[in-house]
Structure 1
Amino acid sequence: MSNWVDMLRSHYNWCLGDRIAQYNQQYIQGEYCEIRAKSEACPLTCFVSKKGATGSPWKNTKTDKEGKPKNPRRSPGDIQITALPELKQARPWYGGIDSTVLQQNVKRLDIAYQNFFDGRGFPKFKNRSNFTSFTYSMGVKVQGSKIYLPKLGWMRFHNSRPIPNGFTIKAATVRQRQDGWFLSIRIEDKTVPDYRAKPLAEVKKVIGCDLGITKLVHLSDRHQIDNPKFSTNKKTRHILKIRQKSVSRKAKGSNQRKKAVKKLGRLHKRIADKRQAYQWKVANQIVSRNVDGIALEDLNVSGMMKRCRVKTDNQGRFLPNGQSRKKSLNRAISDAGWSDLILKIEYLAAFALACRRHQQGKVVIKVN
């Protein structure tokens, strides 16, 4: 599976580079000509590489395999998915990877571009540290403590939560972490009704939550929930400092540095797991209270953690702007994990998992 991750990362980067090259070529050639045929662009603006991400955007037919009408224009993702058989012929080692995994790899790039069009950052080339997973869209089977993954076969795994009767497997994501491989399965049962929150007219009792750093949550009923400060307490910061120094003192590319990096990664994972478990516990405590609604702060956490604006004098020299003091505040906000805690509260409130006697979920109100 490690080889799969490396090959899929290379395929992702190649697809991204292909799209960037084709878009640059399109920009250099100028705007599209108004006279255009449905099968191909006019010669003045056609692409040199017809097999690229945007080289041949039109299909020869207007119907799919079932005879249903279909838009003949293809997206860059559709063109790259269609070119996967040619990829396997040119690089036979990609034939050992399941076809649905390669297709989901291209769709992963489509999602990155869609996020960019929605106002987020431009897609980046992946390195080994930020590309550690792949997804199956079909063919996954589970029997007790064994799971079947296409092209990988049957293997044993720890089934932490059995699949309920009537649910079907829609997708499975395999992810590599510091202490092994993990599998998350998405299931679906169309017969299960949707959970709905109570209408606002029926909300009678509401509890307010104020998120903080010294105390993680201040409730309106005068209860306070402690903040353990998993990564910013004195002991953990001392251990992190030792592990990080151990990594920096090893030669780059050496086996000793790889061992030190893994040791540091296991420590970060242990801290993250503790934080996640504690946040689920806190969210359960809040949602399980006998209330109809929960009021939360509508926090812009990313904006609160931004760097201070640069200050200069009349001669252009930099002036103190308080960033050195704000660095500790940013570290404390990141350690508290306010955004993750809010998501967990919304999840439990929507499905009313903490209060099983309620047939409907609870209303979550965000206040500015």
Structure 2
Amino acid sequence: MRAAYQYRLRLTKSQETEVERWLDMLRHQYNYLLADRFNWYEQNRCSINSCPLVCHLPNLKDNPDYFSQKKTLPQLKKDRPWYGVVQSQVLQDCVKRVDLAFKRFLKGDSNGKKSGRPGFKGKKRYKSFTFPSLGKNPISGNILTLPKFGKVKMIYHRPIPEGFKIKTATITRKADGYYVTLSIQDDTVPEIISADSVKNPIGIDMGLKSFLIKSDGSEVPIPQYYRKAQKRLRKIQKVVSRSKKGSNNRKSAINKLGKAHKKVADTRKDFHFKTAKELLDNYDLVAHEKLNIKGLAKTKMAKSILDAGWGQFLSILSNKAVRVAWPTAINAGLQTVAVNPRNTSQNCSNCGVKVPKKLKDRIHSCPSCGYTEDRDVNAAINILNLAVGHSVSSSAARS
């Protein structure tokens, strides 16, 4: 099992300068390697699928890949000695990033879905670098030792759980400072509670009127952090757009805008973590809809959907469910089940008959069995029924 713990760094001025120096060198190297890939791609691709009897083809360049580009790093340090300050594995990770970006552009990910053409990184656009391996005991108190970079001070607000080893460390520049993300691993496989032994399940229906509605009738209000911050964000954005490009005032305004957006994102994420914890503290199975959030984000409700952050919440919920008992019971794990949302709002949770409703209809009233319930609560009960594989009575769902 792998997890990521993030800590804020307290760097000295000289360390901040060194981090920025590494980021800028890695940015230049990333752009160079990406340009090498594109040069080969443009020179060697051809739409003609046959060759004439007489042809004069130039000597084709070998296709640059991860291994061939990694072999160029020793020569890079000879030609540009200042790259010698960057740890070798950090440079190799830069090559890996280029390889991954280009492969997703040409071949796609594991599902065959292709990404857009990777772009070159402008100034301040390369924001992180990764140490793929660390020493045996890299943390001592609140001091983290990074290979070739040295010791850095961090706010060690939560300890690494017992049994976990630190695998990688990623230094990231954000609007309000520098952070380190530690990837930790434990080889123990969590034992997930089986569906047969589930005693206290719950179904949730995601919404925009309320953030989520449970099958027991209770709900979690939607906070709308972005909408509440829009007025302040608009004022700062005006200062940015009206200031002269390249001026110190513009840089200051951009930094202020970045901090304001980060505050919105941080408060939303904190709300998601607390909501997920409340669910997993009280229930051993949480059933939810398998939503096509990218598709929903293309509708008229895009701003509200993205402000709610359903995707981030469901990801946190599923990840936290597996390790909810850390570090006291490392093998314990709860269950989250994603079900097909088709007709969950239309079908009657009591008898199963389809009762067509428009979006404005907020009450479910079944003409077949006479069951009446709030539309969203009815949907949450249907989601729970699909997850557990059998009908759960409305009284049981509410208990």
TM range (shorter): 0.7 to 0.9
Aligned ranges 1:184-333 → 2 under 5 Å = 184-190=181-187, 193-233=188-228, 236-289=229-282, 291-306=283-298, 326=300, 329-333=301-305
SS at match of 1:244: helix
CA distance in structure 2 between the aligned counterparts of 1:180 and 1:242, rounded to whole angstroms: 23
Distance 1:31 1:21, change over 3 A: farther
Question: Identical aligned pairs, as a percentage?
Answer: 35
SS at match of 2:190: coil
Structure 1 stretches of 5 or more lacking a match? Answer: 34-42, 56-75, 308-325
CA distance in structure 1 between the aligned counterparts of 2:336 and 2:162, rounded to whole angstroms: 31
Corresponding residue number in structure 2 for 1:339? 311
- The yes-or-no answer on 1:85 pairing with 2:93 is no
Measure how far apart 1:358 and its partner are.
10
**1:287–1:355 Cα contact (<8 Å) kept:** no
Out of 144, 147, 150, which is 2:147 matched to?
A: 150
- The aligned amino acid for 2:132 is S
**1:26–1:45 Cα contact (<8 Å) kept:** no
CA distance in structure 2 between the aligned counterparts of 1:358 and 1:149, rounded to whole angstroms: 28
Out of 141, 159, 164, which is 1:162 matched to?
A: 159
SS at match of 1:109: helix
Instruction: Please identify runs of 4+ aligned residues in structure 1 that moved more than 4 A.
Output: 28-33, 43-46, 354-359
Out of 164, 167, 179, which is 2:176 matched to?
A: 179
Measure how far apart 1:100 and its partner are.
0.6
**2:142–2:156 Cα contact (<8 Å) kept:** yes
Question: For residues 68-126 of structure 1, what are the alpha-carbon distances to aligned partners after superposition, in whole Å with 9 as ceiling and x for unaligned?
Answer: xxxxxxxx011111111111222222111111100011112222234332213132222
- The yes-or-no answer on 1:132 pairing with 2:127 is yes
Aligned ranges 1:99-110 → 2 under 5 Å = 99-110=88-99
- The yes-or-no answer on 1:350 pairing with 2:350 is no
**2:191–2:332 Cα contact (<8 Å) kept:** yes
Higher relative contact order (CA 8 A, sep 6+): 2
Distance 1:30 1:264, change over 3 A: same
**1:351–1:361 Cα contact (<8 Å) kept:** yes
Number of residue pairs matched?
310
Measure how far apart 1:46 and its partner are.
4.2
- The yes-or-no answer on 1:18 pairing with 2:13 is no
Corresponding residue number in structure 2 for 1:2? 20
**2:134–2:169 Cα contact (<8 Å) kept:** no
Question: For residues 99-157 of structure 1, what are the alpha-carbon distances to aligned partners after superposition, in whole Å with 9 as ceiling and x for unaligned?
Answer: 11000111122222343322131322223454210000124522112122223212222
Structure 2 stretches of 5 or more lacking a match? Answer: 1-18, 341-399
**1:32–1:45 Cα contact (<8 Å) kept:** no
Corresponding residue number in structure 1 for 2:14? none
CA distance in structure 2 between the aligned counterparts of 1:171 and 1:149, rounded to whole angstroms: 10
Distance 1:85 1:96, change over 3 A: same
- The aligned amino acid for 1:168 is K
- The aligned amino acid for 2:115 is G
- The aligned amino acid for 2:28 is S
CA distance in structure 2 between the aligned counterparts of 1:196 and 1:254, rounded to whole angstroms: 57
Q: Which moved further from structure 2: 249-258 or 357-366?
A: 357-366
CA distance in structure 2 between the aligned counterparts of 1:353 and 1:243, rounded to whole angstroms: 42
Corresponding residue number in structure 2 for 1:69? none
- The aligned amino acid for 2:32 is W
- The aligned amino acid for 2:22 is W
The two structures, once aligned, show a CA RMSD in angstroms of 2.6
Measure how far apart 1:161 and its partner are.
2.3
Distance 1:358 1:21, change over 3 A: closer
**2:162–2:327 Cα contact (<8 Å) kept:** no
What TM-score, normalized by structure 2, do the two folds share? Answer: 0.72
- The aligned amino acid for 2:316 is K
What TM-score, normalized by structure 1, do the two folds share? Answer: 0.77
SS at match of 1:159: coil
